[in-house]
Amino acid sequence: MMTASISFLFAQSQELPTTKVRDLNGKQVSFNEIFEKGKYTLVSFWATWCGPCKMEIKNIKTKLADWQKQVDFNFVTVSIDDARATAMVKTYAKSQGWTFPTYVDPNSDLKRSLNFQSVPFAMIVDPTGKIVYQHTGYEEGGERTF
């Protein structure tokens, strides 16, 4: 069964878009440049108004240190809040003690580039920069599927 899953993941891999996002200090960067080459990255797309999104990130944050002892990977979040809510994104991330990179996609350009409709939306990017897993939605405990 595991072989079939891996085949599916790699069969579905796709290139990262070059769409611009902003870090929490306002610096613009191409999405495909935020990834550390040679390392897997889990990306969680969220919004300040999305309860399931915040729960998913909270649960990932709780498990992150243990997971990273087993597998060396990065974790990044991208908010799809509009430009008016960007300050709330920064405040929320700080209030939650987030130490991982957080970006904003205030005009939903990246969301359109990746062609997903709603959050929470998560993806795994492999060490070569290809998207190898995507998932929409979140239920308590769903972070264990990563």
Structure tokens at 96: 């939650």
Please give the backbone phi and psi of residue 100, each rounded to the nearest 5 degrees, phi first: -90, 155
For 31-54, how does the pLDDT look when each residue is reduced to its tens digit (9 = 90+)?
999 999 999 999 999 999 999 999
Residue 15 is predicted with a pLDDT of 81
Domains detected in the chain: 2-145 (3.40.30.10)
- Stretch 5-11: mean pLDDT, rounded? 40
Pairing of strands 121-125, 130-136: antiparallel
For 73-112, how does the pLDDT look when each residue is reduced to its tens digit (9 = 90+)?
999 999 999 988 988 999 999 999 999 999 999 999 999 9
Higher pLDDT: 15 or 74? It is 74
Residue 145 is predicted with a pLDDT of 60
Higher pLDDT: 71 or 80? It is 80
Given a cut of 90, whether residue 21 has pLDDT beyond it is yes
Residue 143 is predicted with a pLDDT of 61
E-state strands within 2-141: 14-15, 20-23, 28-30, 40-46, 73-79, 102-104, 121-125, 130-136
Pairing of strands 40-46, 121-125: antiparallel
**28 within 8 A of 63, measured Cβ to Cβ:** no
Residue 1 is predicted with a pLDDT of 30
